């Protein structure tokens, strides 16, 4: 089944971080606009009332001033005590619109040309007009709008400033908080990840959020079913291989007895072939038992063993069965490397690798075995180069690349099951390191945990 993935997976932490920050920012801006709107109205009211107040204060003074003049129709400019910038300017006009009095830097052009009563505004100024002395005098006072605008802008900016701090704080805060809330999920993931293929026991669900517990429980029940399926497969393999042993051994013994009874000839040849087939069957059942053991767990022993003395025993044994073959063994000086791998599992592993080196290597050339003080085993033999794609497949069951000799294609599968079951690593090289051809297998035992 192929899954068509249309969307890239998103990090929950990132989505929540960005989402919450955006929401807070928008809310802040919304609240800010409301505050600015309300204060603007209030401010305008205040400014307006002081504008009107000023006009009403100036009016009586202006009236007295104008009436006391020798020529009341003559325009006059109020001299300031000292040149200064005025925020408020005013004009006093008669009912014909003639200017009778003006503040020292009032520009008549900015004022309304008609005589208006009350508040009104132009694009640049806010005005307030009143009339007195039976509508014969009219005062209009003007205030530039820039002041009101500056006050509002200043306030908006002072409210915007905290956003600069709020955005990163909110993002970091939600990031840290989400990470904190997800810590049990991360621990759960790590626990699943750290497991080797052999460990299918249930994973702890404590501390997980309620949304995740159903998933974790499904994973556990899946692990359980997988464990049972694998166990039944293994025990079936082991049992059938075990049950096959006796009949195969009996058949072999019978054929050997029969061979002695017939004289040399075609019948003897045929019997020889049957014997070879039976031996093949016998070694297949042996390998199947090894594979079942290798995949079944229990590959680590309670106390550590010295791998070097075990290795020496196995190599000596193999040399005795192949007296003509040159096998060299290079060991570190202190002759000791302790490891928790089960001695039986170690023996099965080494035998399979060594048998391969003898069987698949050029017979006239030596097999070189070395074990380093760092726990790295190397077995090198002469052979023609195996292409990399084939090399990658070799550890699968029933995969063989040299079919000129007898075999089942299970040796490296057994070795791989043992190596990954104990937490070691195995690599193949062809050509062997530093050579033009040959085959090299390295197993690193240093990663096995006690």
Ligand X SMILES: Nc1ncnc2c1ncn2[C@@H]1O[C@H](COP(=O)(O)OP(=O)(O)O)[C@@H](O)[C@H]1O
The footprint of ligand X (CB under 6 A) covers 356-357, 360-361, 381, 383, 394, 400-402, 407-413, 439
Q: Which of 359, 355, 235 is nearest to 289 (CA)?
A: 235
* Full strand arrangement of the beta sheet holding 376-381: 327-330, 367-371, 376-381, 439-444, 425-429
Contacts 24+ apart (CB under 8 A), 2-7: none
Question: Could you tell which of ligand X, Mg ion, none binds residue 173, using a CB distance below 5 to 8 A set by kind?
Answer: none
- 329: tokens are 């063994």
Q: Which of 52, 49, 99 is nearest to 73 (CA)?
A: 99
Question: Could you tell which of Mg ion, ligand X, none binds residue 329, using a CB distance below 5 to 8 A set by kind?
Answer: none
Closest separation between CB of residue 239 and ligand X, Å? 23
Residues that contact Mg ion, how many (by CB under 5 A): 3
In the bound state with ligand X, the residue whose beta carbon lies nearer, of 371 and 439, is: 439
Closest separation between CB of residue 286 and ligand X, Å? 12
Question: Could you tell which of ligand X, Mg ion, none binds residue 439, using a CB distance below 5 to 8 A set by kind?
Answer: ligand X
Closest separation between CB of residue 357 and ligand X, Å? 4
Closest separation between CB of residue 180 and ligand X, Å? 49
Q: How far apart are CA 17 and CA 173, in angstroms?
A: 8
Closest separation between CB of residue 407 and ligand X, Å? 2
The neighbour count for residue 272, using CB atoms within 10 Å, is 12
Task: Tell which one of 237, 356, 381, 442 touches Mg ion (CB under 5 A).
Answer: 356
Question: Could you tell which of ligand X, Mg ion, none binds residue 285, using a CB distance below 5 to 8 A set by kind?
Answer: none
Q: Please, is 201 exposed, middle or buried when counting C-beta atoms within 10 Å of its C-beta (0-12, 13-18, 19+)?
A: exposed
In the bound state with Mg ion, the residue whose beta carbon lies nearer, of 177 and 428, is: 428
Q: Contact at 8 Å (CB) between 47 and 152?
A: no
Q: How far apart are CA 293 and CA 414, in angstroms?
A: 9
In the bound state with ligand X, the residue whose beta carbon lies nearer, of 381 and 420, is: 381
In the bound state with ligand X, the residue whose beta carbon lies nearer, of 148 and 359, is: 359
Task: Tell which one of 129, 198, 361, 411 touches Mg ion (CB under 5 A).
Answer: 411
Closest separation between CB of residue 356 and Mg ion, Å? 4
Phi-psi region of 327 (alpha: psi -120 to 50; beta: other; left: phi over 0): beta
Q: Which residue shows structure tokens 């899954």?
A: 3
Closest separation between CB of residue 371 and ligand X, Å? 17
Phi-psi region of 230 (alpha: psi -120 to 50; beta: other; left: phi over 0): alpha
The neighbour count for residue 149, using CB atoms within 10 Å, is 11
In the bound state with Mg ion, the residue whose beta carbon lies nearer, of 66 and 418, is: 418
Q: Find how far residue 39's CA is from the centre of its chain.
A: 48
Closest separation between CB of residue 408 and ligand X, Å? 5
Q: How far apart are CA 356 and CA 363, in angstroms?
A: 12
In the bound state with ligand X, the residue whose beta carbon lies nearer, of 163 and 385, is: 385
User: With CB under 5 A as the contact rule, which of the stretches 49-57, 254-262, 350-358, 397-405 interacts with Mg ion?
Assistant: 350-358
Q: Is 375 in the site for Mg ion (CB under 5 A)?
A: no
Question: Could you tell which of Mg ion, ligand X, none binds residue 106, using a CB distance below 5 to 8 A set by kind?
Answer: none
State whether residue 215 is helix, strand or coil.
helix
Closest separation between CB of residue 411 and ligand X, Å? 2
In the bound state with ligand X, the residue whose beta carbon lies nearer, of 119 and 363, is: 363
Q: How far apart are CA 427 and CA 447, in angstroms?
A: 14
In the bound state with ligand X, the residue whose beta carbon lies nearer, of 155 and 281, is: 281
Q: What share of the chain is helix, strand, coil (3-state, %, to 5)?
A: 55, 15, 30
The neighbour count for residue 293, using CB atoms within 10 Å, is 22
User: With CB under 5 A as the contact rule, which of the stretches 33-41, 203-211, 371-379, 409-417 interacts with Mg ion?
Assistant: 409-417
Q: Where are the alpha helices (DSSP H) in 341-423?
A: 343-360, 388-393, 411-422
Question: Could you tell which of Mg ion, ligand X, none binds residue 357, using a CB distance below 5 to 8 A set by kind?
Answer: ligand X
Question: Could you tell which of ligand X, Mg ion, none binds residue 394, using a CB distance below 5 to 8 A set by kind?
Answer: ligand X
User: With CB under 5 A as the contact rule, which of the stretches 22-30, 102-110, 154-162, 353-361 interacts with Mg ion?
Assistant: 353-361
In the bound state with ligand X, the residue whose beta carbon lies nearer, of 131 and 290, is: 290
In the bound state with ligand X, the residue whose beta carbon lies nearer, of 208 and 382, is: 382
Q: How far apart are CA 201 and CA 224, in angstroms?
A: 7
Radius of gyration of the chain (CA): 49
Closest separation between CB of residue 374 and ligand X, Å? 22
DSSP letters, 141-154, are EEEETHHHHHHHHH
Site of interaction with Mg ion (CB under 5 A): 356, 407, 411
């Amino acid at each position: 089944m192929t899954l068509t993935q249309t969307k890239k997976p998103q990090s929950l932490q990132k989505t929540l971080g960005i989402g919450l920050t955006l929401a807070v920012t928008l809310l802040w801006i919304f609240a800010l606009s409301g505050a600015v709107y309300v204060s603007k109205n209030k401010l305008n009211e205040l400014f307006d009332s002081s504008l009107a107040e000023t006009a009403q204060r100036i009016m009586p003074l202006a009236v007295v001033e104008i009436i006391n003049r020798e020529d009341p129709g003559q325009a006059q400019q109020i001299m300031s005590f000292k040149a200064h910038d005025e925020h408020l300017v005013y004009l006093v006009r008669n009912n014909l619109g003639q200017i009778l009095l003006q503040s020292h830097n009032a520009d008549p052009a900015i004022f309304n040309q008609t005589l208006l009563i009350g508040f009104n505004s132009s694009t640049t100024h806010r005005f307030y007009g009143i009339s007195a002395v039976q509508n014969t005098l009219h005062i209009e006072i003007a205030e530039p709008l820039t002041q009101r605008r500056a006050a509002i802008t200043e306030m908006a900016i002072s409210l915007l400033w905290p956003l600069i701090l709020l955005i990163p704080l909110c993002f970091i805060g939600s990031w840290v908080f989400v990470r904190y809330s997800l810590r049990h999920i991360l621990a759960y993931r790590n626990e699943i990840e750290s497991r080797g293929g052999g460990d299918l026991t249930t994973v702890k669900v404590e501390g997980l959020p309620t949304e995740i517990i159903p998933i974790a429980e499904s994973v556990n029940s899946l692990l359980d079913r997988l464990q049972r399926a694998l166990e039944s497969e293994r025990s079936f393999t082991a049992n059938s291989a075990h049950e096959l042993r006796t009949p195969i051994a009996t058949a072999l013994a019978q054929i050997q007895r029969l061979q002695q009874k017939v004289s040399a000839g075609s019948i003897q040849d045929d019997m020889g072939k049957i014997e070879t087939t039976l031996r093949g069957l016998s070694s297949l059942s042996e390998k199947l038992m090894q594979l079942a053991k290798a995949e079944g767990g229990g590959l680590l022993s309670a106390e550590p063993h010295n791998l070097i003395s075990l290795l020496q025993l196995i190599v000596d044994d193999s040399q005795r069965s192949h007296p003509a073959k040159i096998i060299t063994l290079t060991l570190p000086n202190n002759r000791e490397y302790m490891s928790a791998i089960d001695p039986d599992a170690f023996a099965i592993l080494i035998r399979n690798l060594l048998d391969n080196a003898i069987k698949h290597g050029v017979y006239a050339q030596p097999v070189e075995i070395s074990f380093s003080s760092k726990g790295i085993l190397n077995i090198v033999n002469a052979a023609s180069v195996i292409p990399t794609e084939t090399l990658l497949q070799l550890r699968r069951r029933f995969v063989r690349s040299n079919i000129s000799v007898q075999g089942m294609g299970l040796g490296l599968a057994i070795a791989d099951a043992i190596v990954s079951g104990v937490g070691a690593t195995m690599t193949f090289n062809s050509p062997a390191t530093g050579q033009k051809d040959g085959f090299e297998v390295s197993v690193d035992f240093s990663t096995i945990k006690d």
